[in-house]
C-alpha cells in the first residue's frame, strides 16, 4: 500500500513539472512563424493577391498551413515577387484565436474581428510581440 502511494505521488509530481514546463516554454516555432515573430528560419509561404481587409487597396495574401495569416499591402509598383518575404510594420496579421489577438494587442496592435471568427491586427510591434507571446527569435 505504501509503495503504491509513493508511486502515485511521484507520478503526480512529474505531471505537475510537465505542466509547469509547458506553461513557461515558448510557443512552437511553427506557431510563431505565422505571427509577427516570423523570422528568417521560418519556412517559405504561398501567396496570392487581393484586396486588403476592409479596403480596396491591394495586398499580398500570405498563406500558412491553416490559411491566410497576414496581408501585406502592396505599393504602386506591381511585381511578381511577394511582400510575404518581408512583412513590415504595415502588415495586417490574422489572429486565429483570442489569445494570439490579446498578445498582439499587448504588443501595441489594434485588433478587430473579421466577422469569421478571426481577428485582423494592425500596427503590431514585432519585438514586443516576440516577448509577450514567448516566441523568442525565429
What is the mean predicted confidence (pLDDT) over 109-131?
94
Average pLDDT of the chain, as a whole number: 80
Note the pLDDT of residue 34.
Answer: 95
Q: Is the pTM of this model over 0.95?
A: no
Q: What is the 3-state secondary structure (H, E, C) of the chain?
A: CHHHHHHHHHHHHHHHHHHHHHHHCCCCHHHHCCCCCCCCCCCCCEEEEEECCCCCCEEEEEEECCEEEEEEECCCCCCCCCHHHCCCCCCEEEECCHHHHHHHHHCCCEEEECCCCCEEEECCCHHHHHHHCCCCCC
The domains of the chain are located at 27-132
Amino acid at each position: 500500500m505504501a509503495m503504491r502511494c509513493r508511486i502515485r505521488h511521484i507520478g503526480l509530481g512529474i505531471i505537475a513539472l510537465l505542466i509547469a514546463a509547458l506553461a513557461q516554454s515558448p510557443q512552437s516555432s511553427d506557431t510563431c512563424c505565422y505571427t509577427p515573430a516570423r523570422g528568417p528560419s521560418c519556412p517559405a509561404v504561398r501567396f496570392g493577391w487581393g484586396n486588403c481587409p476592409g479596403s480596396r487597396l491591394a495586398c499580398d495574401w500570405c498563406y500558412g498551413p491553416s490559411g491566410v495569416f497576414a496581408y501585406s499591402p502592396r505599393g504602386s509598383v506591381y511585381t511578381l515577387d511577394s511582400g510575404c518575404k518581408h512583412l513590415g510594420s504595415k502588415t495586417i496579421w490574422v489572429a486565429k484565436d483570442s489569445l494570439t489577438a490579446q498578445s498582439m494587442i499587448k504588443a501595441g496592435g489594434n485588433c478587430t474581428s473579421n466577422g469569421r471568427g478571426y481577428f485582423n491586427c494592425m500596427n503590431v510591434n514585432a519585438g514586443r510581440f516576440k516577448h509577450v507571446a514567448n516566441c523568442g527569435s525565429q
